[in-house]
Amino acid sequence: MDLLGDPQIAVRKSVILSLSSAAHQKPNLIRDTLPKYLSQIYDQTRIRPELIKEVELGPFKHKVDEGLETRQATFECMYTMLDTCLSRLELQEFILKLVSGLTDEYDIQCLNHLILIRLAKRAGSALLAGLEQLIPPLTTCVKSTAKDATNPEQVERNNELIRSGLRAIATINKLPDIAETAPKFIDFIKSTVQQGDLGKMFIEVSKTATL
């Protein structure tokens, strides 16, 4: 775990994958040591501009994010730790890292929606305490549009992202006392989520959202 500070991204990714495996299979191996390394673990969720390269593919230029796989592996690790190492996590710092994850690439955004659902089920009061800062990225998600509205695959992919975000919102909305403890989140639901076609999608996903 000391190698979380290694300068090589490949080394840090390997550590995160090993840590995730341990959290899933043998959490007792890491529970007591985990608090010492949480800041370094959370730091692996950060987008690093220096790892984003531009490569030429014939006449086209394409950006390659060499840190993407490590970020995804870290969020997957965090998802697992919520299940097996919850008592060792500093949850407000944990929730703060979801702000960037909720605006990252498609797969990472969907993964963060699953993390929110698990947080709601495992640590609802902590989630409510940090919920306000998650409203802006969730707003961006549910109001997103496909880059190419004429491409059916892109449109469906974007709609699935929105549904994923709405499932997380619907689950959070079922937390007890949310109206009293998170009025800005309730306002967000009323003013944005429950409007127009988005509101119809929200009704549908709410039918299967459970705590």
Domain ranges of the chain: 1-89, 95-211
Neighbouring-strand partners of residue 64: 53
Stretch 53-79: mean pLDDT: 92
Residue 164 has pLDDT above 90, yes or no: yes
Q: Say if CB 88 and CB 31 are below 8 A apart.
A: yes
- Whole-angstrom Cα distance, residue 77 to residue 55? 30
- Whole-angstrom Cα distance, residue 155 to residue 67? 26
Long-range own/partner contacts, residues 125-129 (CB < 8 A, 24 or more apart):
126/91, 126/92, 126/95, 127/91, 127/95, 127/172, 127/175, 128/175, 128/177, 128/178, 128/181, 128/182, 129/92
Per DSSP, which regions of the chain are E strands?
Answer: 52-57, 60-65
Statement: the pTM of the whole predicted model exceeds 0.75 = yes
In the prediction, which pLDDT does 150 show?
87
In the prediction, which pLDDT does 147 show?
86
Retrieve residue 59's tokens. 């006449």
Residue 62 has pLDDT above 90, yes or no: no
Could you give the C-alpha distances from 115 to 51, 75, 95, in angstroms and in order? 25, 8, 10
Q: For residue 108, what is the enclosing H or E element? A: helix 106-122
Condensed to tens digits (0 to 9), the pLDDT of residues 68-109 reads 999 999 999 999 999 999 999 999 999 999 999 999 999 999
In the prediction, which pLDDT does 106 show?
96
